[in-house]
Amino acid sequence: MKKIEAVIKPFKLEALKEAMAKIGVQGMTISEVKGFGRQKGHKEVYRGAEYQVDFVPKVKVEIIVNEALVDTVVKSIIQSVKTGNIGDGKIFVLPLNEVCRIRTGETGEAAI
């Protein structure tokens, strides 16, 4: 099993959700996060005053899949959220040792 974490632009969340439904991914966890990468934030003007926004709003999506689906999920995420502009985000693939469904006590891939 693997945990796929994607940090994406907030307005791309619906496209990602639709793409995951098409390939059969049944669940995901979404968090609103803030951060910066190479873009180092951006400048905004409010009532004539310019100020620096250091942390850009993003959405973090966590998806648990069996190893056979990892490449399909990663490719689908890229296709659904890529704009070609700076700040499109990152995808992290992490090993996952165990999963347990609290309600039923199922473990491993049965709990996904």
| CATH, residue 32 | 3.30.70.120
Answer for the pair 58, 7: CB distance below 8 angstroms, yes or no. Answer: yes
Q: What was the pLDDT predicted at 41?
A: 64
User: How much is the average pLDDT of 56-75?
Assistant: 95
Half-sphere exposure at residue 30, Cβ-oriented, CA atoms within 13 angstroms: 12
What is the radius of gyration, based on Cα positions, of the chain? Answer: 17
> Cα(71)–Cα(67) distance, rounded to whole angstroms?
8
Q: What was the pLDDT predicted at 42?
A: 64
> Cα(98)–Cα(53) distance, rounded to whole angstroms?
39
Structural domain that includes position 52? 2-111
Q: Which two tokens stand for residue 8?
A: 């994406």
User: What's the number of domains the chain is made of?
Assistant: 1
Q: What was the pLDDT predicted at 59?
A: 97
SS3 81: helix
